[in-house]
Structure 1
């Protein structure tokens, strides 16, 4: 029986992790190690008087959740790549931005909640002058109060501050077969990592919820199906 590779590839097609690439809002992040998701739905039994058995089952809300695992090299890959989608910075008015901009000034220490000024001018610790300092920022250099002075675009500091994004999973193997799937409206909830002298690789994990999943669908093959490749003769190998 003479079975060729084409006959096997036309029957079955599978993908390994090496055949899969994931893009985040159209941006490929090569540090991704693993992606997992689950879809769950509430199911509740319905009972009536006179019977201990359920008459029926009612299906309720659906939830989609999962996790992302990234290998850590010299940066937080997800945060660094997703920050590129944030443009324009307002004056430093958020706690962490003002503290990073000039941690030594009294005003910035007040905003960071680390320090306040007492009525006698002495420096104390607390948030007693938070309201006054935020009001001064609202008035700005012009002296006219504008609430826009207190809001603006800021680079996220934690993963849970990232705006919702989509993930597209693209699959292609050496036979030319292709598939793909999408996860929509991902919002990150938790993040965690750790370091140990016994760990050869450092990883960082995120948990997320999503709004919708479009399952794996087969795409057009890169190779023409139903046509076997011609076997080269010995002379062709030497050309």
Structure 2
């Protein structure tokens, strides 16, 4: 038993089955893969009299990556971000937009008009072909005046819940690793902003996936965390009188 314990301490490795990803304090079980890359501009410096670079100057750094989710019967990222966990997770931040460009109810009580305009809402004034941009102009003007005779541009905007992933405010991703031997590690990606999203369906596909690309501000690399096996216990389990607890031998 002692030899086995010493052997399992020698190497620490983790597979995808040992990893959980947390998005702004929310664990999303549909995550299938997460990748990232760090690149930096490096430019050669030349002077007259030599075709070879005298030196190299390092410039801007960029962090980017991708997220892949298995597609079940929901948009996992957006739906989890919208959930309210009664102050146990950060509240989702809405995005500001013009009321005529949004759907649903805004955080200040305004009702979005986008679907009405897209579905052919006719202007109440003007020509008989008053659709589209003419309707948008009219509705925005009416919103600006509201119930008064004074135009107030503050009435034109409100905060709405995102309809697309690229409307999500920046968030952090935490990657937690824990294997069967009690070894643990973790890393963080800060300031993630979604750029693109894509998915598709085919009769030949058994699994449907949804992919996102993102940029980030900073990455905290993988760091080793406390090995619970060294303490001879599982997380949260009591240790009593240096005796085996849960089948683990305390050394």
Shorter-normalised TM range: 0.7 to 0.9
Decide whether aligned partners of structure 1 residues 120 and 64 sit closer, same or farther in structure 2, where only a CA change above 3 A counts: closer
Decide whether aligned partners of structure 1 residues 181 and 87 sit closer, same or farther in structure 2, where only a CA change above 3 A counts: closer
Question: Shift of residue 87 of structure 1?
Answer: 6.9
| Contact 1:116/1:127 (8 A) holds in 2 | no
Decide whether aligned partners of structure 1 residues 52 and 13 sit closer, same or farther in structure 2, where only a CA change above 3 A counts: same
CA RMSD of aligned residues (A): 2.9
Decide whether aligned partners of structure 1 residues 218 and 206 sit closer, same or farther in structure 2, where only a CA change above 3 A counts: same
Question: Shift of residue 95 of structure 1?
Answer: 2.7
Q: How does 1:1-239 map to 2 (within 5 A)?
A: 4-84=3-83, 85-86=91-92, 93-97=99-103, 111-112=117-118, 114-117=120-123, 121-224=127-230
Decide whether aligned partners of structure 1 residues 95 and 112 sit closer, same or farther in structure 2, where only a CA change above 3 A counts: farther
Residues in 2 aligned to 1:135 and 1:213: alpha-carbon distance in whole angstroms:
45
Question: Shift of residue 182 of structure 1?
Answer: 0.2
Larger-Rg structure: 1
Question: Shift of residue 96 of structure 1?
Answer: 4.1
Superposed CA offset, 1:108-143 (max 9, x none): 677448455386652444312432320111222355
- Gaps in structure 1 of 5+ consecutive residues: 99-106, 231-239
Question: Shift of residue 149 of structure 1?
Answer: 2.0
- Gaps in structure 2 of 5+ consecutive residues: 84-90, 105-112, 233-242, 245-251
Residues matched between the structures, number = 219
TM-score by length of 1: 0.81
| Contact 1:9/1:175 (8 A) holds in 2 | yes
